[in-house]
Amino acid sequence: MKTFKQIVLAATLLCGMQGAYAQPSTQAPTPTHAPSDVISTFSDYYTNVGKSLEPVTSWAQNPITTIETYFSNDKVAKVPTGDSPVNTSGWNGQTKGYIHMDVYATSASATFYYGIANGYDLNGKYPTSAFVWPALKANQWVSVDVPMAEFIKGGFNKDQNIQGFRFRTAGGPVYIDNIYAYGYLDPGELPVEEADIPQAPQPLHSQADVRAVFSDSYTLATKGYKPQTFGGIIGKILPVKGFPNDQVVEFKTLGTSLATIDTWKITGLIIHVDVYHKSDGDGSFSFGLCSQDWSGNQIKQIPGDQWNWDIISEGEWVGLDVPAYLFADAGVNLEQITQIKFFGSGLFYIDNLYAYAGQILNRDATLKSLSITSAELAPGFSGNVTEYETRVAEGVASVTINAEVNAVTSHLTGTGVKTLTADYNEFEVVVTAEAGNTKTYKIIVNRGEPKDNNATLRSLVVSNGVGTTYTPTPAFNPGVAALTYNVPADLAFVVVEAVTGSDKATFSGLSGLGFETLQPGVNPINIVVTAESGLKRTYALTINRGGGNAIRDVKAAPVLVKTGNGVLEASFEGSAHIRLYTVTGQLIDQTVANGAYVHPVGRGVYILSVDGGITKVLVK
Ligand SMILES: [Ca+2]
Ligand SMILES: [Ca+2]
């Protein structure tokens, strides 16, 4: 027992000694940035601004960063080895260009890097791999300055404050002092953010009937939509990908999201908003309004027994139209609306938030039933399922499609007797709702035994016929629908060779294949492949003679051609570049001739190019 006590005592002493020596031997260098350019969060030097670090002690599984005091009154953060989260609630350092830290290690083999977090869960966002963290030095302070753009590229949302750090240390502890942000955040350094969704439908209400809050379609709109930093997530105003002038609001993880709006007067009107549920969550969506104050605490929602918010289906724009009086019933002053708050579950976008005078048109474009004579559809009918397939017996010449709309105000097309022109047939039934939105139901009718449905090309080569092939944009693959080739301005024809993906597929004639003469400029060529089942697929080639912008106007000189006695004779005015080809594009001869050209030929078809002008010559 005595021995055991001595060991415990010795261990305690040893630990105590290590603790005493394991601290920086010098104070951190005095910061050099002007206080007016600094937003600090942990520094004894900058006292005019800043929050402090708030060590997270509640996460038992994580090593805890502590705040130590050395050199009488100098605070230093001691970061243990591992993954240590530290709060710095509401620090707005993200508005600056860099985050600075002074970092001290007792060994040069220690490493340190860190992420910053938008939320209290401290899922840190780290710089991209392009950023090189400075190496630590033994018993020295090292300045670590990370561009804010690196964190933003790494996923940090610059529209929200920094809620914490996630320190990552190996071979520690390391010591940190003077954590502050400084410098200019250059918007040009930041990644371009876009909403990768389709554009919202064009609103159809006339300007005179509309009081808009957020819409690119109404130029007299209030445009007073200002997403708020409190009360849930921040709606982010972004352009639609490919449409820089069409903005939408993104709600990344709704939740709730509050926005103030310029005073909105909507007595007697209907509130419209287009909503797109891209992913995540259950698609539930609604909004509330406030006419009372600016805190967001007085938002009123419509009681559930008075309005049924539909679940927004994923991957399509859905227009919501809600009568304003329902909010009046809930206690909102419709002449003084100052805030709107969105509620939901998932990743949403909204567009075209406005109120209009009019009546609510029925948006129901679903079918109540859909069937086909003498065959069952698969899967079984459901109003929200829009694609069906069936198979009928060999020799069936026609089927009848029957359908009923859900709403009597809808319009229906595509039903009735349908002739089966092939063993693979596609039919569409389209429902147009009273409000103008449509829903298309597709029915594939297969006839007879299953047949090969492959109507793709395996390869496609466009060449000049004498060994030079041209590369299309985009690169060829069997699934591509349109290809553009830029070819030289003086190329009078191309040779197109294609192989079908299935031996059972056929070309529709030889249209688009083999020798194709080119006009200067744009030459469309379509290749149509027909699968065994009858399914057709078109590859649309655009041959751009002159390479897109260097289109040359080739004047075909008047050419007189005679053949006979095994000789082709051409006469024309002046000097000309001559090329003679076989019908499949093999170059036979090229030269420059003045006024006349003579070449021996056998029987067959030849292509004569005189200064780019093409003449087809038949030699009997
Ligand atoms: Ca300090
Ligand atoms: Ca828009």
| DSSP assignment string, 226-244 | EE-SSSSPPPEEEEETTEE
CATH of the domain at 609: 2.60.40.3080
Which ligand gives the minimal distance to the CA of 198? Answer: 2
Q: Which ligand is nearest to the CA of 276?
A: 2
Residue 553 lies in a domain: no
Is 160 a domain residue? yes
Q: For residue 510, give the nearest of 520, 491, 496 by alpha carbon.
A: 496
Closest ligand to the CA of 175 = 1
pLDDT, greater one: 367 or 521: 367
Within a domain: 13: no
pLDDT band, very low/low/confident/very high, at 20 (cuts 50, 70, 90): very low
CA of 279 to the centre of ligand 2 (A): 20
Mean pLDDT: which of 30-34, 121-125, 466-470, 518-522 is highest? 30-34
Q: Is the pLDDT of residue 552 over 70?
A: no
Q: Are residues 35 and 171 in the same domain?
A: yes
- Which residue would you say has higher pLDDT here, 259 or 362? 259
Same domain, 212 and 328: yes
Are residues 35 and 56 located together in one domain of the fold? yes
Average pLDDT score, the chain: 86
Task: Give the CATH number for residue 263.
Answer: 2.60.120.430
CA distance 174 to 104: 6
Same domain, yes or no: 161 and 258: no
Tell me the CA–centroid distance for residue 410 and ligand 2, in Å: 27
Which one, of 586, 488, 496, 506, lies nearest residue 541 by Cα?
496
User: How far apart are the CA of 221 and the centre of ligand 2, in A?
Assistant: 12
Give residue 538's pLDDT: 93
Which tens digits make up the pLDDT trace of 186-218?
888 888 889 999 999 999 888 888 999 999 998
* Angle, vertex CA 489, rays to CA 487 and CA 491, nearest 5: 70
Residue 620 has pLDDT above 80, yes or no: no
pLDDT band, very low/low/confident/very high, at 449 (cuts 50, 70, 90): confident
Q: How confident is the model at residue 12 (pLDDT cuts 50, 70, 90)?
A: very low
Domain of 432 in residue numbering reads as 367-447
Per residue in 313-330, pLDDT (tens digit) is: 899 999 999 999 999 989
Residue 436 to residues 363, 410, 431, Cα–Cα distance (Å): 7, 9, 9
pLDDT computed for residue 416 by the predictor: 96
Domain holding 431: CATH number?
2.60.40
Distance 214 CA to ligand 2 centre (A): 8
Answer yes or no: do 228 and 336 share one domain. Answer: yes
Residue 225, pLDDT > 60, answer yes
Residue 460 has pLDDT above 90, yes or no: yes
176 C-alpha to ligand 2 centroid (Å): 46
- How far is 190 from 152, CA to CA, in rounded Å? 7
Using the mean position of ligand 2's atoms as its centre, give its distance from the Cα of residue 299 in Å.
25
Residues 35 and 177 in one domain: yes
Same-domain pairing of 30 and 167: yes
Distance 386 CA to ligand 2 centre (A): 28
Residues with CB under 5 A from ligand 1 (ion): 44, 74-75, 177
Instruction: Say if residue 335 is in the same domain as residue 397.
Output: no
Helix (H) or strand (E) holding 66: strand 66-70
If asked whether residues 440 and 393 sit together in one domain, one would say yes
List the structure tokens of 182.
Answer: 């400084």
User: Is 155 part of a structural domain of the chain?
Assistant: yes
Question: CA-CA distance, 151 to 554, in Å (whole number)?
Answer: 56
> Is residue 470 included in any domain, yes or no?
yes
Looking at the CA of 70, which ligand is closest? 1
pLDDT digits (tens, 9 = 90+) for 562-607: 877 888 888 888 888 888 888 767 788 988 888 889 999 888 778 8
How many percent of the chain have pLDDT more than 90? Answer: 50
| 35 shares its domain with 148 | yes
* CATH assignment at residue 96: 2.60.120.260
| pLDDT one-digit tens code per residue, 64-122 | 899 999 998 899 999 999 999 898 887 899 999 999 999 999 999 999 999 998 876 55
In a domain, 279, yes or no: yes
Give yes or no: residues 26 and 113 share one domain: yes
Helices (H), ranges, 541-619: none
Q: How many domains does the chain have?
A: 5
Contact assessment for residue 397 and residue 419, using Cβ atoms and an 8 Å cutoff: yes
Average of per-residue pLDDT across 471-479? 92
Chosen domain end from 356, 376, 394: 356
| Last-in-domain residue among 356, 381, 401 | 356
**Shared-domain flag, residues 108 and 68:** yes
Q: Ligand 2 mean position to 211 CA, how many Å? A: 15
In a domain, 552, yes or no: no
Structure tokens at 447: 């006839």
Which of 336, 356, 376 is at the close of a domain?
356
pLDDT of residue 551 exceeding 60, the answer is no
For residue 179, the CA-to-ligand 1 centroid distance in Å is 9
Q: What is the pLDDT of residue 14?
A: 40
**Alpha-carbon torsion 473, 477, 482, 485, what sign?**
positive
Q: Which of 551, 539, 552 lies closest to 484 in space, CA to CA?
A: 539
Q: Each residue of 251-265: pLDDT tens digit?
A: 988 999 999 888 899
Q: Is residue 472 part of a domain?
A: yes
Ligand nearest the Cα of residue 180 is: 1
Asked whether residue 133 carries a pLDDT value surpassing 50, the answer given is yes
